[in-house]
Amino acid sequence: MRESLTVSSSDLAPGAPARAVVDLDAIRDNVRALRDHAPSSDLMAVVKADGYGHGMVPAARAALAGGATWLGVATAHEALALRASGVTGDARVLVWLLVPGAPFADLVRADVDVTVAAPWSVDEVAAGAREAGRPARVHLKVDTGLSRNGVTPADLPGVVRRLATLEASGEVRVVGVFSHLACADEPGHPSVARQAAAFDDAARAVAAAGLRPEVRHLANSAATLTAPEVHHDLVRPGIAVYGLSPVPQLGPPGAYGLRPAMTLEARLGNVKAVPAGEGVSYGHLYTTPRDTVLGLVPLGYADGIPRHASGGSAGVGGPVAVGSGDARRVLRIAGRVCMDQVVLDLGPDATERPGDVATLFGASEGVAHGATVPNAQDWAEAAGTISYEIVTRIGARVPRTYAGKDVQP
């Protein structure tokens, strides 16, 4: 696995405190790799939540270049923005998290596939289709055991009957049946087989009502990589599209042919010598163990750096790579993560200077696997969370810039 990053030779503009660089070629290549993992299924790249923080439209463009033929989003606003951007072309777009009053007519007009995940939505979808003057393309989401969104087994017969009536009168086309797994990130978990069986039951009930959906889909990233028996017609990976491992306990990204697309870097704003015994940052959770040099990184929790990744008596701080050549090393945040900044103990022999670039995470297998640049999974472990939350929360104040030789943003 390559580490495409050189810590000190960044082209981060002089005077710019920080940026997230998104490698669109990586997103394209990750989608290609995921298609190889599910060779007989189509692929829906999930680009909700601003493309997991990478930028929804550029991420969609890169995923389509990698062979995705579907794009998935959570909200109506995301779906309409994606269609308005024009990147989607012939790709299908599916939206699955809707509330009463959602703009069903706009979605149908924009050729977005909509989800029926609860009894209330059947009538609203039909009304939206009548208003738009064309049938709504509907995916029925069934709850097979996640107990989150989706029609329960008890409600399913009634919902299927109403959809069949609306299909007969031309207001809807039931084009998909889908569900979502609770524990796919724990391969072999018995709930996966239970949900798969419940999904098959639901698909049979739909067929028995005379409905003939084009696609059945159940697999998220973890199932795309580890559970071929649930690939069905379409797989729906999200996190893996961005090059992060959905099952880190089984291996880093490279184990699945993936590479992380986002690099987060910042310029040191201050480098200064302090004596031994100095408390560092709010609450003095960290005390300098010797005369040393501190470096200030201008990113904090307002930028999405988790405060749980504070270091010192608060725990093992989030990792940051500094220096180049022989001086390259991974340090841990010293003390509290503040709103706008964090501090590093660069050590007594530090050669870093103000303006040098530090890398918080990048295209790496992770320091847990011996890399000299951290990845988002390393941050997840330092903060007691998952890599999804690390990349998705990078704040609006951090500009995204796009890299990649082939795919243009």
Ligand X SMILES: *Cc1c(COP(=O)(O)O)cnc(C)c1O
- Please enumerate, by residue number, every residue annotated as part of a binding site for substrate: 148, 339
Which member of 220, 375, 377, 387 binds ligand X (CB under 6 A)?
A: 220
Note whether 181 binds ligand X by CB under 6 A.
Answer: no
In the beta sheet, which residues pair with residue 263?
Answer: 21
Closer CB to ligand X, residue 47 or residue 268? 47
Cβ proximity of 126 and 166 under 8 Å: yes
Only one of the segments 58-66, 132-140, 225-233, 238-246 lies at the binding site for ligand X (rule: CB under 6 A); that segment is: 238-246
Residue 392 CA to residue 258 CA, distance in Å, equals 18
**Which residues carry a binding-site annotation?**
148, 339
From the candidates 48, 242, 256, 301, which is the catalytic residue?
Answer: 48
**Per CB under 6 A, which of residues 63..102 are in contact with ligand X?**
96
Q: Is 238 in the site for ligand X (CB under 6 A)?
A: yes
Alpha carbon distance 26, 43 (integer Å): 16
Q: Which is nearer to ligand X, 220 or 292 (CB)?
A: 220
Residue 298 amino acid letter:
P
Question: What is the number of the residue whose Cβ is closest to ligand X?
Answer: 238
Under the binding rule (CB under 6 A), the answer on residue 176 touching ligand X is no
Pairwise CA distance, residues 230 & 218, whole Å: 6
Q: Please tell me whether residue 108 binds ligand X under the rule CB under 6 A.
A: no
Read off the tokens for 225: 């990589």
3-state secondary structure 171-232: CEEEEEEECCCCCCCCCCCHHHHHHHHHHHHHHHHHHHCCCCCCEEEEECHHHHHHCHHHCC
**To which H or E segment does residue 164 belong?**
helix 156-168
Catalytic residue among 256, 282, 388, 405: 282
Beta-bridge partner residues of 46: 72
- Confirm or reject binding of residue 30 to ligand X (CB under 6 A): no
Q: Should residue 19 be labelled a site residue for ligand X when binding is judged by CB under 6 A?
A: no
Tell me how far, at minimum, the Cβ of 335 lies from ligand X, in Å: 32
- Candidate residues 27, 46, 203, 296; the one interacting with ligand X per rule CB under 6 A: 46
Query: Of the candidates 213, 159, 140, 220, which has an alpha carbon nearest to the alpha carbon of residue 184?
Result: 220
Residues 350-379 contacting ligand X, CB under 6 A: none
* Minimum CB distance to ligand X smaller for 96 or for 361: 96
Asked if 286 is an active-site residue, the reply is no
Minimum CB distance to ligand X smaller for 141 or for 267: 141
Cβ proximity of 183 and 148 under 8 Å? no
Q: Which residues, at least 6 apart from 222, have a Cβ–Cβ distance to it below 8 Å?
A: 181, 184, 185, 187, 246, 247
Q: How many whole angstroms separate alpha carbon 38 and alpha carbon 67?
A: 12
Q: How are strands ordered across the β-sheet holding 292-297?
A: 270-274, 292-297, 342-345
Q: Minimum Å distance from CB 277 to ligand X?
A: 45
> Does 232 engage in binding with ligand X (CB under 6 A)?
no
Stretch that binds ligand X, among 1-9, 207-215, 235-243, 353-361 (CB under 6 A): 235-243
Residue nearer to ligand X on the CB measure, 148 or 290? 148
Place of tokens 């670039």: 357
Q: Which 3 state secondary structure label does DSSP give 45?
A: strand
CB of 173 within 8 A of CB of 182? no
Determine whether 48 is an active site residue: yes
Please report whether residue 347 would count as binding ligand X according to CB under 6 A. no
Does residue 54 interact with ligand X by CB under 6 A?
Answer: no
On whether the CB atoms of residues 255 and 239 are closer than 8 A, the answer is: no
Least distance (Å) between residue 52 CB and ligand X: 7
Residue from 206, 239, 271, 294 touching ligand X (CB under 6 A): that is: 239
What are the tokens at 245?
A: 């491992």
| Nearest to ligand X of 55, 238 (CB atom) | 238
Provide the minimum distance between the beta carbon of 238 and ligand X in the complex, in angstroms, as a whole number: 3
Catalytic residue list:
48, 282
Interface positions with ligand X (CB under 6 A): 46, 48, 96, 180, 220-221, 236-239, 246
